[in-house]
Structure 1
Amino acid sequence: MDDDFSLSVVTGLKIAKRIYYGKEQQVSAPEPAPVMEKSPSVRPGHGPTAPMVYAVIFDPSIVDNPEIPTYQPHVHGLCDPPALIPLHMNEIGMDVDCYLDTAFVSVSGSWRVHCVMASCSCDCRVVVPMGEQGSILGVEINVAGRSYSTQLMQMEETQGMAKMTKNEHGGFLKPQIFSLMIPKVDGGSILSIKVSWFQQLLCIDGQFTLSVPFVFPEYVTAPGKKLRRERIQLNVNTGIEKEVVCKTTSHPLKQIRRQMGKLGFLYERDVYAWSRADFCFSYMISSNDIFGGLLLQSPSMHDFDQREIFCLYLFPGKIQSTKVFRKEVVFLVDISESMRGWPLENAKNALAAALSKLTPADSFSIIAFNEATHLFSSSLVLAKEERVENATKWISENCIARGGTNIHSPLSVAMEMLASSHDSIGQIFLITDGAVEDERSICHYVKTHITSGGSTSPRISTFGIGSYCNHYFLRMLAMIGRGHYDAAYDADSIDFRMQRLFTTASSPILANIAIDIFYHLDACEVYPFPIPDLVSECPLILSGRYQGNFPDSVKAKGVLADMTSMAIDLKLQKAKDIPLDKIFIKRRIDVLTAQAWFTESKELEEKVTKISMQSGVISEYTRMVLLQTVGQKLAFESARKKKAIRLLSKKYADSEDERITLLSSLTPGFGNIIATMENNPTGFVERSVPASIEILNKASDCCTRACYFCCCPCFIHTCSRLNNDCAIVTTQLCSALSCFGLLECCIELCND
């Protein structure tokens, strides 16, 4: 996506040079970015770095200032793929509400179609990059008397709509970047847009960090020295009656509210240029020792599940006061043919980094697998410097992508290798990019093994790469193994996310956690379950539904690294101003979907569908649609209108006043066994730019000048200087190149 999207934006920016803005064509210099303790990562290219809107240009002849029409020489041909011209942004505001480890983000702004003639129209693409594990909640758009609103529909209700829709209408351009197409927007129109999503707060060493993409390139600022309003409002409610210590912030926030466990901030100012830094904010909850609590809340009257809601949390306290279990680790690395290239290289880099962090007292082994199993050592070895160096060399020489995928055999070997662990918590890390036929039998095998092994059974953490592996199998396997799960859908994030998983999962400080009261309630649904260990890196948060009554005091019991027992008193309190049902809804949907896959339960599938439809959070059994209406505004929060939309889907699918468009799937699915067996690449390996595209890119450099020179005689003159083969190739590229003023040599020949 990066290459294709950036190339289209570059092309669009060059075409936009045709536009004349009058006397105020100079854009004022951007203000320097606010000082941060840690600068945001620099993202190369022209990919979206904040919510943005683009004019989709197939015909470059329509590009002009809608208010000041100017003479534009005719441009022959069409753009294929279409050029993307970033629209000028008039205003932007963001509201963020942080609860526990989840942030709800809502961005509102307006954009103007400044680059299309008033008598013409173009499609407009809305692109929304989200933060850590972002999940889209809804989009509302109003433009020229038309309103658009995203909604969820049950899978079976959308079966007849698939033939009427195309993938380019909306979906994910790449992980965490949501896209939506608005058709036929007139030049000069204003698009008012509100986008809502939620994302996870990143927790490292007990510090919570919020990061929201908020870098607006200079070219979205309209020409002229004009002040524009930029606003950010942030509310933090930890739900914990302890002091919150602010650590870093990217923008000059003004504190407007402070209570125990709660903070409120506002950033609002008039600017000449929009924000050039991601919005980042981090904080810590002050505590020296392990502590926990229990939040209780009643469901809303509209909730179909009327069981009570709970949230149980355990915080590790300061790392200096805790002792981590000695590590016994087995790494399982997929080296099948489909891992070839960057996926395997990044996985190997992350594995080498994980080995370097082991202490001489820790022990490890490595198993590389395809259809066969390849062992670094048949038993665990101490992580002494020489052994780690040998292991790194072994990885380089033996982890070569080839063959198929067999997960059961290497996992069995790893389980046996850790069977004798008594004074430590064995850890298995499984890294794969494929789906296999015996996934359910693997889960049953691990479940049986762990049940017989008791509290000393190894923890299993899983990491999925790409879209072909079954992420629900990997999530289920991690739940059964009381470990952690993560995934990377693009090559660039493999190294970072794998290292983070290794660091988090291999640092338990309290193991074999039990909450006895769960077994004495009338009914109780806990997720995740079995309960994972408390690690030093981040808190342990459990949530669920229950029937019955909690006693006045509840204890959480576990085992420390020195093998002594520990009991923690959990303070009970009613959750106020915290929407527990919304905070954990995505995790609940993911857990129940994994269980539905594992048990092949239709009842659980129907339950997930109900939860998804009620909450507006997408699932494997629901699809997102875009509803277009004329002359009215729709709010996607309205349950009544959601019901009306489902009724309208059949009646008005082809109406000019009411139109429903099915968006492409927004969920990972249940893996692709056929693609795995055929060893198809994961889909995000670096792609080389075709030669024709490179020529096209060079040709667009002279767009502004070529618009005044390109003509058929010039092109014929150019072809006459080429041999026959070149003439054929050049002729085939004619229509694509002509919209950029033909080739650079065209200008040179015209000047001969």
Structure 2
Amino acid sequence: MSEEFAVRVEQGLKLSRRIYYGKGIAPPVVPDPQSSPENFLPTAITAYASITDPVAVDNPDVPSYQPYVHARCDPSALVPLQMLGIEMRVDCWLDTAFVTVTGRWRVHCVMPSKRFDCCIAVPTGEKGTLLSAEIDVLSNEKTYKTKLVTEEEACDIDNVHKDKDSRFLKSQIFTFKIPHVSGGSIFSVNVNWSQKLVYKDGKFHLNVPFRFPAYVTPVGKEITKREKIVLNMNSCVNGGEVACSYSSHPLKVIHRESGKLSCEYEAEVPSWSRVDFDVSFNVSSGDLSGHVLVKSPSPWDSDDRGMFCLYLFPGTTKHKQIFRRRVVFVIDISGSMKWKPLEDVKKALLESLAKLEPEDVFNIIAFNDNILEFSTKMEFATDETISAVTEWLDSNLIASGGTNMLLPLIQAVKLLEGSKVGVPLVYLVTDGSVENEREICNAMKECCSGHEKSISPRISTFGIGSFCNHYFLQMLARIGNGYYDGTNNTDSFEHQMSRLFDSASSTIVANTTFDALKLLRSVELFPSQIPDITLGQPLILSGRYKGQFPDEVELRGTLADMSCFTIELTVEKAKDIPLDKVLARRQIDELTAQAWFEDKKELQDKVMRLSIQTGFPSEYTQMVLSLKDNDEEKTIERPVSIKEILRNPSYQIQKQMSRNIERTSLLGKQGFGFGNLAATLKNIPPWMEEPKEPEGAEILIRAASGVVDRVCCMCCLQCLSRVSDQCTIVFSQICAALACFQCLGCCFEVCGCLDL
């Protein structure tokens, strides 16, 4: 998918060579055609003109009268548009950042008399979710805006069509298109998304894609280029101080108060930013610190219970002792894991093993239809053992066979029995779905229960690609009181996989309890079980409640030396903090996993309401792009009869065509989905898109275009010469019938109805 997009951009850059910018003005610099396809993928928000007719590519101000091209682009070529301005605002709350980017572009590559769709590519940061987009086309004063609707509402929308270009190219690059923009037009795009802050060594790290290629810089010395960034950091810690330790752009502090810091960067530049926006900042120092935030429900909230959020930052507590680790790695080696995915898993596995101490113990179970163990017992993580693992991985981890997940998980839990030292951990890595996923969850629930006096096995899961059921993996991690992570970016995930292991294996407080919840009524907790406190990431609990929170609450647990741990947290009101939006993503994911596991319509409806209320997409809602209400009134809202068209054909046809053009676009889903069992059974690798059966019309179009493109090929001519007369007659009759149907379809499109 991303390779196809890169090829289309490369074709668009070749087409842009037709543009004449004026005497003495050099064209933009483009990448070397021999370079990697990655160089043609967007590294910041970018707009493209989707060109199907190469003849229309020209400077709208200075026509170059290029030679006529007897060809069409299928799929369309993507010509990057020149960007006129860029602004970005980032608001950080706890471990979530909300990013708003506003950019302006000009369709500098299309004749003024021509109109084409424009494609917008939005790369987001860590676990990015597109929340909204608004587009203003200044030439025709039209405004398009996204909104979330239910699946039923999407089906009821008139004149709706699915935007085939709206999808994830990779796990963090989302695309959608603006319909029919005229050459020379200027339009602005305002997009909002949320992303996660990465926590490491007591600091939060923010990375926002902000690298613009040279070919989007406007050509001409008189064009002013100004970029602006506003960063607001809110730690939600009263009395604490936010300290920015690193920034990729020169930030100026404009406001500082307890727990808050606002910075700004604004400059007139010769070319747009060539580096991502990176920031690192501290929100606490020293030992564990945190608070409990409470907030009353808003008037438009569908839930009348109050909200609460408990957060605890590990800080730089180096003196805290980490539990000894007993780890069993459960690795999927089915046929779909062949080549790069399995090699990346091996690298991440060796990197994780290198972080174990000699007194830690581990084992490895590889599975497909059968299971393959590194050892029959747990082994100490000595240098000699890890060297033996390296040889064992190279000779034994070969991708083949199917996927049987239950047997290796049961075997992993058995290996962890018999010792009460340290935290037992099962680390599952897979790229597929299986039929008995709910059975696996129930079996692991039984295995993890009955450990009242000891620490039950923790199960952490990592999903690769879109064919595995990520909500099953989330539910499995929740049952095992562990952690989950996943990715659709199969190009490089070993760092993400290693980071998950760091979080899961750096436990400093286990068996955590929050007794204050017993004093409240109608409590709903996210996640449903309280995770251990680790050095790898903050502990964040949220939920709904009825009753009165005490002024202080206690969080209890067990330390590595088996002594009791207690910390008192102050309860405060969440002032000026959008708590519902900050917590929305994790709550929607938790409820979706629960809705999948319990298969209840009530939970699905609850996810749907929360999604629409907070503006976060879900598996049960759909994002649509349509004209704003004031613009929709300009188009015809009733069918047009043939008699009316005959009286004033040009006016009515133009109006009716305008109505057909401005259809509501159904944007692609942003969720992982619930897996693809058929693709798993076929052992389709996660980096491949499952082949879809083309529709009948699509088959004929491909066949016809193939004949036209290769009519000069002697092999094709020889093949056609062998077609019998009867086949030729049948094929001609089919084409004639299809042409008649197309004529009728055209009449319906133009007339709206047959009012005779």
Is 1:223 equivalent to 2:219 in the alignment? yes
- 1:126 counterpart = 2:132: no
Identity %: 48
Note the 1:74-89 alignment, pairs <5 A.
74-89=68-83
Shift in alpha-carbon separation, 1:630–1:476, aligned structure 2, 3 A: closer
Does the C-alpha gap of structure 1 residues 8 and 322 become closer, same or farther in structure 2, counting only changes over 3 Å? same
Greater RCO structure (CA 8 Å; 6+ sep)? 1
- The one-letter amino acid of 1:220's match is V
Deviation of the 1:128 alpha carbon: 0.3
Paired AA for residue 258 in structure 2:
M
After TM superposition, list the pairs within 5 Å mapping 1:417-456 onto structure 2. Answer: 417-454=415-452, 455-456=454-455
> Structure 2 regions of 5+ residues with no counterpart?
31-35, 634-655, 692-707, 720-756
Q: CA deviation at 1:55?
A: 0.5
Contact 1:28 1:224 survives alignment (8 Å): no
Does 2:585 align with 1:581? no
Superposed CA offset, 1:387-443 (max 9, x none): 111112111111111111111111001111112231200111000111111111111
> Match of 2:230?
233
Q: CA deviation at 1:446?
A: 1.4
Indicate how the Cα distance of structure 1 residues 665 and 93 shifts in structure 2: closer, same or farther if over 3 A, else same: same
**2:679 aligned partner:** 675
Structure 1 unaligned segments of length 5 or more: list them. Answer: 31-41, 635-651, 688-711, 730-752
Deviations 1:567-597 (A, max 9, x none): 0010111112211100010110100011111
**Partner AA of 1:613 in structure 2:** I
Match among 249, 256, 275 for residue 258 of structure 1: 256
TM-score (norm 1): 0.86
Whole-Å separation in 2 of the counterparts to 1:632 and 1:183: 14
Instruction: Say yes or no: does 1:624 pair with 2:623.
Output: yes
Task: Pick from 90, 109, 117 the counterpart of residue 103 of structure 2.
Answer: 109
Shift in CA distance, 608/219, structure 1 to aligned 2, threshold 3 Å: same
1-structure distance, mates of 2:426, 2:158 = 42
Answer whether contact 1:479 1:530 (CA < 8 A) is retained: yes
Query: Matches of residues 64-83 of structure 1 in structure 2 within 5 Å?
Result: 64-83=58-77
Q: Quick check: 1:495 aligned with 2:491?
A: no
Give secondary structure in 2 for the equivalent of 1:26: coil
Aligned 8 A contact 1:147 1:630 in 2: no
- Deviation of 1:608 after TM superposition, in Å, equals 0.7
Moved more, 153-162 or 340-349: 153-162
Please say if residues 159 and 660 of structure 2, whose CA atoms lie closer than 8 Å, have aligned partners that are also in contact. no
Question: Which residue, 662, 668, 671 being the options, matches 1:664?
Answer: 668
C-alpha displacement at 1:472, in angstroms? 0.5
- The structure 2 residue matched to 1:380, chosen from 378, 381, 385, is 378
Q: Which residue of 2 aligns with 1:311?
A: 309
Shift of 1:162: 11
Between the aligned partners of 2:171 and 2:508, the Cα distance in structure 1 is 33
Partner residue in 1 for 2:722 = none
Instruction: Determine whether 1:139 maps to 2:133.
Output: yes
Task: Name the residue aligned to 1:734.
Answer: none
SS in 1 for 2:492: helix
| Aligned counterpart, 1:340 | 338
Structure 1 pair 489–222 and aligned structure 2 pair: CA distance change class (3 A): same
Q: For 1:174-193, what aligned pairs fall within 5 Å after superposition? A: 174-193=170-189
Q: 2-side partners of 1:29 and 1:11: how far apart?
A: 15
In the superposition, relative to structure 1, how do residues 466 and 163 fare at CA in structure 2: closer, same or farther (>3 Å)?
Answer: farther
Amino acid at match of 1:468: F
Deviation at 1:44, TM superposition (A): 4.1
1:421-473 C-alpha deviation (Å, 9 max, x unpaired): 31200111000111111111111111122221234111100000111111101
TM-score by length of 2: 0.85
Distance 1:91 1:654 in 2: 30
Structure-1 residue corresponding to 2:21: 21
* Alignment match, 2:541: 542
* Residues 99 and 236, structure 1, Cα contact 8 Å, conserved in 2: yes
Deviation of 1:629 after TM superposition, in Å, equals 4.5
Question: Quick one: which amino acid aligns to residue 132 of structure 1?
Answer: E
Question: Are the equivalent residues in 1 in contact too, given 2:201–2:315 (CA < 8 A)?
Answer: no
Distance in 1 between the 2:283 and 2:600 partners?
Answer: 41
Question: What is the match of residue 745 of structure 1?
Answer: none
* Cα deviation, residue 300, structure 1: 1.3
Q: Is the 8 A contact 2:431 2:464 kept in 1?
A: yes
Q: Where do 1:350-429 residues align within 5 Å?
A: 350-429=348-427
**2:504 corresponds to:** 505
Distance, in Å, in 1 between the alignment partners of 2:516 and 2:620 is 33
Q: Secondary structure at the match of 1:607?
A: helix
Residue equivalent to 2:636: none
Q: Structure 2 CA distance, aligned partners of 1:83 and 1:224?
A: 25
1:397–1:28 CA distance, 2 compared to 1 (3 A) = closer
Distance in 2, Cα, partners of 1:724 & 1:141: 49
Q: What is the CA distance between 1:285 and its match in structure 2? A: 2.3
User: 1:99 deviation in Å?
Assistant: 0.4
1:384 to 1:152, Cα distance in 2 relative to 1, 3 A:
same
CA–CA distance in structure 2, aligned partners of residues 289 and 512 of structure 1: 20
Amino acid at match of 1:191: F
**Match of 1:23, SS?**
coil
Alignment partner of 1:493: what SS?
coil
Shift of 1:728: 7.7
* 311 and 417 in structure 1: CA distance in 2 versus 1, 3 angstrom threshold: same
Write the distance in 2 (CA, Å) between the matches of 1:29 and 1:18.
14
User: Per-residue displacement from partner, 1:42-75 (whole Å, max 9, x unpaired)?
Assistant: 9941100001100011111101110111221111
Q: What is the alpha-carbon distance in structure 2 between the residues aligned to residue 24 and residue 524 of structure 1? A: 71
Match of 1:200 among 196, 200, 215: 196
Alignment of 1:574-723 (within 5 A): 574-629=573-628, 632=631, 655-656=659-660, 659-684=663-688
Residue identity opposite 2:25 in structure 1 = Q
Secondary structure of 2:613's counterpart equals: helix
Q: Is the 2:522–2:546 Cα contact (8 Å) retained in structure 1?
A: yes
Q: Provide the alpha-carbon RMSD of the alignment.
A: 2.7
In the alignment, residue 264 of structure 1 is paired with which amino acid?
A: S
| Cα drift, residue 260 of structure 1 | 1.6
Structure 2 letter corresponding to 1:200: K
SS of residue paired to 1:563: coil
Q: How does 1:285-304 map to 2 (within 5 A)?
A: 285-304=283-302
1:52 aligns with 2:51: no
User: Which amino acid is the alignment partner of residue 281 of structure 1?
Assistant: V
Contact preservation (8 Å) 2:522, 2:545: yes
Distance 1:619 1:51, change over 3 A: same
Separation of aligned partners in 1, 2:75 and 2:492 = 27
Whole-Å Cα distance in 2 between the matches of residues 683 and 537 of structure 1? 29
| Contact 1:24–1:224 (Cα < 8 Å) also in 2 | no
